[in-house]
Amino acid sequence: MLSERLQKIADCVNAKTLADIGTDHAYIPIHCVKDGSCLRAIACDINAGPLKAASENIGANGLASKIQTRLSNGLEALSPNEADTIVIAGMGGFLIRDILINGADKIGDNTVLILQPMVAAAELREYLCKNGYDIFKEHLAREESKFYNILCVKKGECEYSAKDILVGKIDADDENYADYIAFHKNVIEKIIAGLEKSSGKEVEIAMYKEKLDLIMN
C-alpha cells in the first residue's frame, strides 16, 4: 500500500509510458502498471543502490517486461518524447527546476509533468510560470503534520496569481485546505515575530507582511 503522498501522485497518472525520476524502490511505476494507469514505465535513479532495489522490487512483482530501470541523472537517460508522463517527486524544488532545465529537450509539447517538491514549492511554481509551463492542477497530500504539494504541469501559459505562486491553487473544498493555509499563516507570523526582535529588519518585515496579506485574502 502506498503512503498518501505517493498515492496522490499515482492518482495523477494516466499514461502510455511513465518515467519516474528518482524512483527509489519503484513504488509508483509498479502501482501504476498494476492498476492500468500506465501501460509501461521507466524507473530512473541517479544512484545504483536504489536502482538495484527498484529492479528487485519490479522482478518480485512480475513486471520486468513492463518496467525498465535506467541509471540516470535527471532526464538524461530518456529519449525526447519517450515518456508522455514524467514524475519527479520527493526532492527539493530547486533540484526539480534544474532537472527540467537540463532535460528540456526530453519534454514534449504534450508531456505531462507530475512534480512533488519537498521544499521550495513557491520557487518552483515561479520558475514554471515564467518559463512556459502551465500548472493546470494542484493537489495536496497530508501525512501527519506535513503537507505535500503535487503539481500537474504541461507546456503552456500559466495563469497563477501572486497568492497562487506562494501557496498553490488548491481547491477550497479540499479537506486539508483550511489546515494548510493555517500552517502557512503560522509559519509567516513566527518569522515576522522573530524579525521584529531585531533592528533594521523593516524591509524583511514588510515583505513577510505582504505575503501574509496574500495568504489571508
pLDDT at 78 over 90: yes
- Tell me if 13 sits within 8 A of 139, measured CB to CB: no
Quote the pLDDT of residue 20: 98
Tell me the C-alpha distance between 109 and 128, whole Å. Answer: 14
Tell me the C-alpha distance between 194 and 13, whole Å. Answer: 42
**Short-list 120, 117, 110, CA closest to 138:** 117
My answer on whether 149 and 179 are in the same domain is no
pLDDT at 1 over 90: no
Model pTM? 0.95
My answer on whether 79 and 143 are in the same domain is yes
The residue segments making up the domain with residue 109 are 4-158
My answer on whether 202 and 113 are in the same domain is no
Cell numbers representing residue 83 in the block: 515518456
Q: Where is the domain boundary, 130, 158, 186?
A: 158
Quote the pLDDT of residue 188: 96
Q: What is the pLDDT of residues 106-143, one digit of tens each?
A: 999 999 999 999 999 999 999 999 999 999 999 999 99
Q: What is the pLDDT of residues 153-189, one digit of tens each?
A: 999 999 999 999 999 999 989 999 999 999 999 999 9
Q: Would you say residue 197 lies in a domain?
A: yes
My answer on whether 71 and 22 are in the same domain is yes
3-state SS, residue 114:
strand
My answer on whether 189 and 93 are in the same domain is no
Cell numbers representing residue 207 in the block: 515583505
DSSP classification of residue 172: T
Average pLDDT for 48-61: 97
What is the share, in percent, of the chain residues with pLDDT greater than 70? 100
Quote the pLDDT of residue 106: 97
Q: Quickly count: other Cβ atoms within 10 Å of residue 72's Cβ.
A: 20
Cell numbers representing residue 8 in the block: 496522490
Average pLDDT for 86-103: 98
Tell the residue number behind the cell numbers 502501482, with chain if given. 31
Sheet containing 146-155: give its strands across: 67-71, 38-45, 15-21, 85-91, 112-117, 146-155, 133-143
